[in-house]
């Protein structure tokens, strides 16, 4: 049984002016124990919404359907009551702007103790001991527990946020653009520590980011999202060397590489609006390989190889040709 | 000394910077001033020199706090340089008054990181581009200005212009807003464009487009572009030259591809090692710098990188290295007295401390 299994996840947001935005459309996702998965795509593709839906942290304007199974138990079925016992305990998250994750008027140590006490993981002396351990684990001296968030540098705050997320010993850790606002050197330090910790603690890591090289460096597998749907998912190596969705290919081509010789090319056009019904493949208007069928019929996810799924008509056509 | 990507030698430089120094005063407490303690200075930019030619793109790279943004602000005289000289088209502009500078403002333009903050939210695209024309008296009438706005919008890829001219910034995507900011900076036909992290706020899919635009504009208008960035991959793709800054100094400078492929300064090597490649098969071991950069108020004697350098010797702590040509390549310069000795020595995985 997989640690986390999401089946046919859909999220709609009620818009203030009436109407609904279909932000996540039929996403399936599996994360195994100790696995590192990257969730990638442009802004607005639904990657953060998927994570927030799993954590049960979407605003009240959102409607969610589908199944979210954690160790087999559907935590979506019972609403907030069935998610609450797991949030921060079995699944935790680190946000992009670590400053916002902390209360400015409480010491960092106090804020790491809080979730432990709240969820009955540890209290008193034991909680303080564990706080020291957690801080050292992420590379902050234990003595810094008595300091306030503003006394920390950006990198230290991100580390402290990581310590806080790990307080209750979760099985899955979501990290939303954890290194985006940081300097390259600090980014490398944190990414390295994140990967080491995932290994040491047998933690499943879901890295939500638009930064493909970061995913290539840190993750085993990645899921590329477009317009609220899964365009392709596969092992990172397969995604780079044998992409089966033009969007995946173009996303790599738009990312400059330090030693790359080929030109960096942007993807023309914009992602579609999700507040109206789309006909055909959502990527068709921007796709250089679009065929007639792409404009009329939505491509369904097709399994291409072990763990390799892509939603593109080109794959069905290739199959027909070889058959 | 300066070369374009195709190796051609260039005319006299558009921008000539020599020994530029910009210090910021450190705030003294009331007690300090009563006790007449000397005022202290933070050495933001501490003696840098470089040339930038028309049509050339120079990337100034480094971590936050290295002085790259202060360098840009000093060039545009948004902050007062402490010493050194800045020459634009041969004219010394280092100490011109704000009034004397005004006509020169047309020549030097800046494109900021966040177009949402640099654009006036109450201005439609047309007004944004037209405003500098009105301020500087360009275009003889409404019709002429209108035609010029359309031409510029089209040139930066906001086509058809009619579709975008009446939009407000919030009605545009991040990439479109940055294109609009570029259009507004082009109105005055600048010779020098300074861009501070021009694409870091944008989505990956549109970054390349904005960079390609800058790239083609500098060629078309033989405009010099100084790009400040922390993204070495972008710098290596789009810039002719890269200058790496550490702690107020340029520690290495040279043709972009050469600096990236054959870095000579230990700091450049560490910085390049932490950039992840796209291909998971080429995963690298990052050489992570430990320790902190030195205190900008109490600048050490000798090499500023000594406190974190794995190859440090006593001589490094005593002698402040100048930027010298690398053996075998006059266009590539490095500020390291041991550059030749350590060329083939491996960097340890954790550098410093």
Region B146-168: what's the mean pLDDT?
92
Whether B204 and A212 lie within 8 Å, measured CB to CB:
yes
Q: Residue B353's pLDDT band (boundaries 50, 70, 90)?
A: very low
Q: Is B205 on the interface with A (CB under 8 A)?
A: yes
**What do you get for the CA distance between the two ends of chain B, in Å?**
37
Residue B69 has pLDDT above 70, yes or no: yes
Please name the member of A42, A183, A241 whose beta carbon is closest to the beta carbon of B63: A183
Which residues in chain B have Cβ-Cβ distances shorter than 8 Å to A192? 286, 288
pLDDT computed for residue B180 by the predictor: 94
Q: Are B53 and B13 in contact (CB under 8 A)?
A: yes
What pLDDT is stored for residue A318 in this prediction? Answer: 65
Q: Is the pLDDT of residue B102 over 90?
A: no
The answer to whether B274 contacts A187, with C-beta atoms less than 8 Å apart, is: yes
pLDDT digits (tens, 9 = 90+) for B104-124: 888 999 998 887 788 999 999
Which residues, in sequence order, are bridge partners of residue A13? A21, A62
Q: How far is A323 from chain B, CA to nearest CA, in Å? A: 32
Q: What is the pLDDT of residue A93?
A: 93
ipTM, interface predicted TM-score of the complex: 0.87
- Residue A68, chain B, CB below 8 Å: the answer is no
Partner residue facing A42 (CB), from B204, B236, B284: B204
Report phi then psi at A277, rounded to 5: -70, 135
Burial class (CB in 10 A: 0-12, 13-18, 19+), A95: middle
Interface probe for B, chosen from A220, A224, A259, A263 (most Cβ of B below 10 Å), is A259
Residues of B in contact with A241 (CB under 8 A): 279, 281
The angle, 0 to 180 degrees and rounded to 10, between the axes of the packed helices A184-200 and B266-273 is: 50
pLDDT given at position B1: 45
**Nearest CB to A216; choose among B231, B274, B278:** B278
How many Å apart are CA B58 and CA B239, to the nearest integer?
6
Taking CB atoms and an 8 Å cutoff, what residues of chain B touch A216? 276-280, 283
Q: pLDDT at position B290, please?
A: 78
Find chain A residues with C-beta within 8 A of B207's C-beta.
254, 264, 266
Give the residue on A whose Cα is nearest the Cα of B276.
Answer: A213
Give the C-alpha separation, A168 to A115, whole Å: 7
Cβ-Cβ contacts under 8 Å, A214 against chain B: 276
| Cβ-Cβ contacts under 8 Å, B284 against chain A | 217
Interchain contact A273–B (C-beta under 8 A): no
Q: Is B106 on the interface with A (CB under 8 A)?
A: no
Establish if A287 touches chain B: CB-CB under 8 angstroms.
no
Residue B135 has pLDDT above 80, yes or no: yes
Does residue A13 sit in helix, strand or coil? strand
- Segments of chain A scoring below 70 in pLDDT: 97-99, 318-323
Out of A180-194, A226-240, B251-265, B333-347, least confident range: A180-194
Q: Say whether residue B73 is in contact with chain A using an 8 A CB cutoff.
A: no
Name beta bridge partners: A87: A91
Alpha carbon distances (Å) from A233 to A47, A61, A283, B169, B234: 13, 29, 16, 35, 27
Q: pLDDT at residue B312 above 80?
A: yes
Q: Which pLDDT tens digit goes with each residue over B189-215? A: 899 999 999 988 888 888 898 999 999
Nearest chain B Cα distance for residue A175, angstroms = 18
Token pair 């906001």: residue: B158
A306 and B CB contact within 8 Å: no
Work out the average pLDDT over B269-293: 87
């Amino acid at each position: 049984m997989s640690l986390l299994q999401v089946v046919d996840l859909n999220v709609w947001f009620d818009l203030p002016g009436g109407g609904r935005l279909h932000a996540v459309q039929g996403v399936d996702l599996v994360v195994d124990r100790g696995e590192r998965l990257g969730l990638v795509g442009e802004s607005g593709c639904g990657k953060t919404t998927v994570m927030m839906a799993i954590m049960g942290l979407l605003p009240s304007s959102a409607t969610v359907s589908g199944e979210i199974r954690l160790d087999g138990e559907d935590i979506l079925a019972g609403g907030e009551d069935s998610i609450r016992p797991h949030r921060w305990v079995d699944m935790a998250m680190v946000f992009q702007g670590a400053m916002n994750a902390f209360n400015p008027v409480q010491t960092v140590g106090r804020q790491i103790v809080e979730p432990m006490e709240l969820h009955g993981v540890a209290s008193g002396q034991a909680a303080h001991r564990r706080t020291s351990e957690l801080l050292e684990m992420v590379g902050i001296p234990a003595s810094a527990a008595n300091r306030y968030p503003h006394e920390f540098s950006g990198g230290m705050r991100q580390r402290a946020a990581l310590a806080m997320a790990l307080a209750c010993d979760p099985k899955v850790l979501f990290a939303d653009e954890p290194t985006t606002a940081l300097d390259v050197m600090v980014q490398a330090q944190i990414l390295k520590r994140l990967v080491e910790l995932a290994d040491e603690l047998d933690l499943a890591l879901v890295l939500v980011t638009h930064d493909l090289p970061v995913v290539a460096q840190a993750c085993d597998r990645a899921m590329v999202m477009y317009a609220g749907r899964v365009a392709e998912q596969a092992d990172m190596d397969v995604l780079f060397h044998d992409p089966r969705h033009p969007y995946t290919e173009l996303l790599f081509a738009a990312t400059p590489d330090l030693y790359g010789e080929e030109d960096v090319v942007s993807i023309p056009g914009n992602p579609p609006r999700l507040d109206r019904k789309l006909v055909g493949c959502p990527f068709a208007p921007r796709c250089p390989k679009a065929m007639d069928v792409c404009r009329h019929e939505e491509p369904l996810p097709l399994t291409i190889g072990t763990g390799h799924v892509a939603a593109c008509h080109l794959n069905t056509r290739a199959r027909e040709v070889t058959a | 000394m300066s070369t374009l990507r195709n190796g051609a030698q260039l005319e006299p430089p558009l921008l000539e910077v020599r020994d530029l120094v910009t210090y910021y005063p450190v705030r003294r407490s009331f007690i300090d001033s009563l006790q007449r303690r000397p005022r202290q200075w933070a050495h933001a930019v501490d003696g840098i020199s470089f040339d930038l030619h028309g049509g050339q793109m120079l990337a100034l790279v480094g971590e936050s706090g290295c002085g790259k943004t202060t360098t840009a602000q000093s060039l545009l005289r948004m902050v007062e340089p402490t010493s050194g000289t800045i020459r634009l088209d041969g004219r010394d502009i280092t100490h011109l008054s704000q009034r004397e500078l005004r006509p020169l403002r047309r020549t030097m333009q800046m494109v900021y990181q966040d177009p949402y903050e640099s654009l006036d939210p109450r201005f439609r695209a047309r007004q944004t581009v037209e405003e500098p024309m009105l301020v500087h008296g360009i275009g003889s009438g409404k019709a002429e200005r209108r035609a010029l706005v359309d031409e510029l919008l089209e040139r930066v890829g906001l086509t058809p212009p009619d579709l975008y001219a009446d939009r407000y910034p919030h009605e545009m995507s991040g990439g479109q807003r940055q294109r609009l900011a570029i259009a507004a900076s082009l109105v005055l036909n600048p010779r020098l464009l300074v861009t501070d992290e021009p694409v870091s706020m944008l989505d990956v899919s549109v970054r390349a487009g904005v960079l390609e635009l800058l790239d083609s504009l500098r060629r078309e208008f033989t405009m010099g572009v100084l790009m400040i960035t922390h993204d070495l991959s972008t710098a290596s793709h789009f810039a002719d030259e890269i200058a790496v800054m550490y702690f107020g100094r340029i520690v290495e400078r040279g043709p972009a591809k050469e600096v990236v492929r054959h870095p000579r300064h230990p700091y450049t090597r560490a910085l390049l090692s932490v950039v992840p490649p796209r291909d998971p098969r080429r995963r690298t071991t990052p050489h992570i710098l430990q320790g902190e950069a030195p205190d900008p108020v109490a600048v050490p004697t000798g090499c500023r990188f000594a406190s974190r350098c794995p190859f440090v010797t006593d001589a490094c702590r005593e002698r402040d290295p100048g930027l010298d040509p690398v053996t075998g390549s006059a266009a590539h310069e490095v500020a390291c007295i041991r550059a030749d000795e350590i060329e083939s020595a491996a960097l340890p995985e954790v550098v410093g401390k």
